[in-house]
Structure 1
């Protein structure tokens, strides 16, 4: 679990379909990872707590070894939030095949506007924590992904061709609430050139 909206929605769907989630594996990536979120990953523990999940950190360089260790301890499936990235899905599936476990990717190839609407309708509260695409600026950092913001993303998709779910790296998100559980997030913006981050300073329940 990265702390982002897609992995969180995937976990919610898994629970709704009867899977028993044992742990949120939080991967600490190298900056600009093709696989895992970078901004605010240390606060993904707060996101995991919204589902009452235990968590464990692992460096990206040790991710595959950790999965093999967990498979040896009884892990039988990985839930991931891949939507359209063949690289992400293929890497996870190869890892699962090698360890004889199941890859569960409930968002794969689903219409991306539908995914955003499902996030909103499910009561998942997510905010923008990084942007790096034309049309997205410093003013977007810290904004909540709600219906008005979805309209904003759709207008940018039409004008600039961005991916409205952020699957192309246009933006990354952080889940700070689910249902009646909402975290209070304090942070600051950092901007450089054509992109930037919302850096979380503090989270309170």
Structure 2
């Protein structure tokens, strides 16, 4: 089974890749859609440029697609990219978004390929516990009350996750960020040949919207071991 993994660099797309490799699929491509709009309905925006470094760490070719981020048209832009690849299936990191999954499924059907979403409707607490046991994952974007700027750049470890559970109880923050509460970036994974190290970062915080982004301005690969 030759597949492409829709790849944003965050926890969910890395889990999709992890699953595909464990299944024994031949992962031919990582596909990153670069959106001009920060309000994209489909695609992760923060630090999408770093998928190039992640692809080097993984050793799988990266295919970039570009989109204005306009609703629905961005789905057709993804279809145009996938249409040019010799694949039998596409793997996505959808967890709870019906909007995203329905559109990936539709595109796959139109292209005559299979669609896989290994995390779909998993229990979010169990899912996140598995995520933090596999990946070195950090928060690079926040947009929820309770997630102040101290969360930007913070690794999601057991302690941080317990705090997210408490924020869920208090403010209904989704523990996996499925409501857009936070965005993530994976610096290391079992299938990375080298880990990613941030050299220069800048926190951008908007008190009015109570949201922020960790902009990674420089990063490099560091050998493991």
Note whether the superposition's TM-score is higher than 0.5: yes
Q: Distance in 1 between matches of 2:132 and 2:48?
A: 22
Query: 1:69 Cα deviation (Å)?
Result: 2.1
- Give the secondary structure class of the aligned counterpart of 1:191: strand
String of CA shifts for 1:31-78, please: whole Å, max 9, x gaps: 1211111111011122223322110111134222112222xxx21111
Among 12, 17, 28, which residue is 1:22 paired with? 28
Among 68, 86, 89, which residue is 2:83 paired with? 68
Q: Which residue of 2 aligns with 1:203?
A: 219
Structure 1, gaps ≥5 residues long: none
Q: Which residue of 1 aligns with 2:97?
A: 85
- Give the secondary structure class of the aligned counterpart of 1:169: coil
- Give the secondary structure class of the aligned counterpart of 2:26: coil
Contact 1:188-1:200 within 8 A present in 2 as well: yes
Q: Which residue of 1 aligns with 2:157?
A: 146
Q: Distance in 2 between matches of 1:100 and 1:18?
A: 21
Q: Which residue of 1 aligns with 2:3?
A: none
**TM-score, normalisation: structure 1:** 0.94
**TM-score, normalisation: structure 2:** 0.86
Q: Which residue of 2 aligns with 1:6?
A: 12
Q: Distance in 2 between matches of 1:48 and 1:2?
A: 11
Query: 1:121 Cα deviation (Å)?
Result: 1.7
Q: Distance in 2 between matches of 1:118 and 1:132?
A: 24
- Give the secondary structure class of the aligned counterpart of 2:84: helix
2:201 is equivalent to residue 187 of structure 1: yes
User: What is the aligned-residue RMSD (CA, Å)?
Assistant: 1.2
For residues 46-195 of structure 1, what are the structure 2 equivalents within 5 Å?
46-60=53-67, 61=74, 62-70=77-85, 74-122=86-134, 124-179=135-190, 181-185=194-198, 186-192=200-206, 193=208, 194-195=210-211
Query: In terms of mean alpha carbon deviation, does 30-39 or 88-97 score higher?
Result: 30-39
The alignment covers a number of residue pairs equal to 201
- Give the secondary structure class of the aligned counterpart of 1:21: strand
